[in-house]
Structure 1
Amino acid sequence: MDNVLTEALVRALAVGTPLLLACLGAILNERAGVVNLGVEGLMAVGALAAFAVAAGSPDANLWLAVGAAMLAGAALALLHAVATVTLRANQFVSGLALALIGTGAAGLLGKRFEGLPLFNKVADWNLGGFTISPFTVAALLLAGAMAFWLGATRSGLTLRSVGENPAAADVLGVNVGLTRVLAVLGGGALAGLAGAFLALSYRSSWADNMTAGLGWIAVALVIFVGWRPLRAIAGALFFGFLYYLQFRLQGNSPVPTEVFSAMPFVLVLVVLALAGLRGQAGNAPAALGRAYVRGER
């Protein structure tokens, strides 16, 4: 029984890691008032950038590959920042376009890497018989650090004020546009880091559509956890466990495989509906999704 529980926890942590990293990035965006639905595309380009740097050479620097993934995610997120903050385009439309651009570009440019070996991977740490990825440790530490930063520091309060009342923040001397751009870039870097985990640790290979909808679940997870980083840990573990059940039950049940494949996405709709019923959506930043124009009321 202990072995089963340990396996379930390890698998839930593994699948939950990219969800947690991407969710933290989305929380950072949305706390500043910017919705970014392009997380799936950001994760895809991050995974491709990491694999492109690390593949084909046994001497490749894996941490340089991680940095490349974060840089690629931030670079693509810059398009969203320019469109929504500078040009004041619709944030939802821009995010959807970003998701399509990211996944399409990663699929096209990644064809040359299909089948290439990854000689080295980011090795898991063995903690007394319990293995854990350095990415997972980093994600947990980032969640705690972000919670502290948002709740107990001046810069964190500044970011939150931009998401709640940008006009008031502007009157107090805060550069609303710059704050939002930096939040979007930081969120893109975290989504790219989530992609790096997939390429360098979890799957250790490149394949088209390797994100498999995790980015969309991360976007929904933000609402489910009420825009709170520490709650995101529990939410990521919950959905990670659902993925574990999906693979565990396939082949051991008369239920068609497609049912298990759809289960995480169906449960996303369920938990979002429950969040709406209990008023969780009311916890959203007051200015979320709205462009700020100085002087407008």
Structure 2
Amino acid sequence: MSAVLDQIFQVGFLAAIIRIATPLAFATLGEMFSERAGVLNLGIEGIMLLSAMTGFTAAYFTGSLWLGVLAAAATGALMGALHGLFTVVLGLSQHVCGIGITLFCSGLAYFFYRLIFGQQSVPPSIDGFKPVAIPLLSHIPILGPAVFSQFSLVYLAIVAIPLSAFVLYRTPWGLSVRMVGENPRAADSAGVSVIGTRMTAVILGGALMGLAGAFLTMAQFNAFTFGVVSGRGWVAIALVVFGRWDPWRSAGAALLFAFVDALQLRMQASGLGHIPYEAFLMLPFVLTIVAMALMSRNAVAPSALLKPFRREER
């Protein structure tokens, strides 16, 4: 146990928490925007996987990482629009459509990856993002190397958190999102386009999910594998509830999960007794379930979540 504690109080451990939390922060913010508008997006896992594949493929063939990021975000936005078409415009079941999007995107990712790259013994890889040290800030003891010597996408995620809070609470569009998520009838009476606002929120959410996928294949692993997402999309849905549909709290929930995930990696490396490594792997997910069970009792979801809006129905 002392070996684990020694590793926890290291700069590398703090830096690992930030890196692990980055894709979760992107995905959680994306799901948060969608749910605040009244649309549950269970397609997040598949959207992240397909975006990770398209972003990796674009970066692999163009040699430009930022084109890969753009391709991933565009893929996420497109799949978000598809989910919005089914759930917002047509008013179909959000649960069923979300699962369908996940299955569709997963199958599409596997198909196109095999079609483009074939079945190689050594998976293709790219020269991914490199850590970028911010002058002056990176020299702050402990905090500098851990937070301000990270990948560019990490900084983008850090900026996205206060920006999301500002957009949601300080802009007319953010007010519209909250209105259509709580009382779409009142929003419609006030002249707010419920369909348009929900579609915009779902598309924005999909783009953020795409950025989460891009980080995994272009910064964290520098390659695409079929298990690259590994349930992070489902975790993001839980983190939104844990964060009570608030950008700051959701980001804090992502950091908490990342802390436990980084901790279990250190525990595996320390070789604690004869505990199977599978026990460490499931630790973050078990704690997520426990946190969900405790927090969901007092969590108040947007009132119109899962409820389709049909103007002709009263």
TM-score > 0.5, shorter chain as reference? yes
- In structure 2, C-alpha distance between the alignment counterparts of 1:19 and 1:181, rounded to whole Å: 22
Q: TM-score, normalised by structure 2?
A: 0.89
Return closer, same or farther for 1:184/1:230 CA change in 2, 3 Å cut-off. same
Aligned counterpart in structure 2 of residue 191 of structure 1, from 199, 209, 213: 209
Q: Percentage identity across aligned positions?
A: 38
Matching residue of 1:55: 60
Question: Structure 2 unaligned runs (5+)?
Answer: 1-5, 140-144
- In structure 1, C-alpha distance between the alignment counterparts of 2:216 and 2:226, rounded to whole Å: 12
Range with greater deviation from structure 2 (138-147 or 257-266)? 257-266
Report whether the alignment pairs 1:28 with 2:28.
Answer: no
Deviation at 1:3, TM superposition (A): 7.7
Matching residue of 2:226: 208
Deviation at 1:62, TM superposition (A): 1.1
User: 1:26 is aligned with what amino acid?
Assistant: E
Asked if structure 2 preserves the Cα contact closer than 8 Å seen for 1:48 and 1:110, the reply is yes
Asked if structure 1 preserves the Cα contact closer than 8 Å seen for 2:125 and 2:224, the reply is no
Deviation at 1:70, TM superposition (A): 0.5
Asked if structure 2 preserves the Cα contact closer than 8 Å seen for 1:54 and 1:118, the reply is no
Matching residue of 1:108: 111
Matching residue of 1:121: 128
Asked if structure 1 preserves the Cα contact closer than 8 Å seen for 2:8 and 2:263, the reply is no
Deviation at 1:227, TM superposition (A): 0.4
- In structure 2, C-alpha distance between the alignment counterparts of 1:31 and 1:186, rounded to whole Å: 12
Asked if structure 2 preserves the Cα contact closer than 8 Å seen for 1:56 and 1:116, the reply is no
Question: Structure 1 unaligned runs (5+)?
Answer: none
Matching residue of 2:294: 274
Aligned counterpart in structure 1 of residue 15 of structure 2, from 10, 17, 35: 10
- In structure 1, C-alpha distance between the alignment counterparts of 2:61 and 2:267, rounded to whole Å: 35
Partner SS for 2:10 = helix
User: 1:30 is aligned with what amino acid?
Assistant: E
Range with greater deviation from structure 2 (19-28 or 153-162)? 153-162
Return closer, same or farther for 1:120/1:176 CA change in 2, 3 Å cut-off. same
Matching residue of 2:151: 133
Map 1:162-173 → 2, pairs under 5 A? 162-173=180-191
Deviation at 1:123, TM superposition (A): 1.5
Matching residue of 2:142: none
Map 1:243-258 → 2, pairs under 5 A? 243-251=261-269, 252-253=271-272, 254-258=274-278
Partner SS for 1:55 = helix
User: 1:169 is aligned with what amino acid?
Assistant: A
User: 1:258 is aligned with what amino acid?
Assistant: E
- In structure 2, C-alpha distance between the alignment counterparts of 1:237 and 1:98, rounded to whole Å: 27
Matching residue of 1:237: 255
Asked if structure 1 preserves the Cα contact closer than 8 Å seen for 2:39 and 2:305, the reply is yes
- In structure 1, C-alpha distance between the alignment counterparts of 2:61 and 2:204, rounded to whole Å: 29
Matching residue of 1:84: 87
Deviation at 1:296, TM superposition (A): 2.5
- In structure 2, C-alpha distance between the alignment counterparts of 1:46 and 1:238, rounded to whole Å: 25
Deviations 1:40-61 (Å, cap 9, x if unpaired)?
111101100111011156xx11
- In structure 1, C-alpha distance between the alignment counterparts of 2:235 and 2:203, rounded to whole Å: 20
Deviations 1:101-121 (Å, cap 9, x if unpaired)?
122221232234464544421
Return closer, same or farther for 1:263/1:108 CA change in 2, 3 Å cut-off. farther
Aligned counterpart in structure 2 of residue 74 of structure 1, from 72, 77, 93: 77
- In structure 2, C-alpha distance between the alignment counterparts of 1:208 and 1:292, rounded to whole Å: 36
- In structure 2, C-alpha distance between the alignment counterparts of 1:266 and 1:174, rounded to whole Å: 41
Deviation at 1:170, TM superposition (A): 0.5
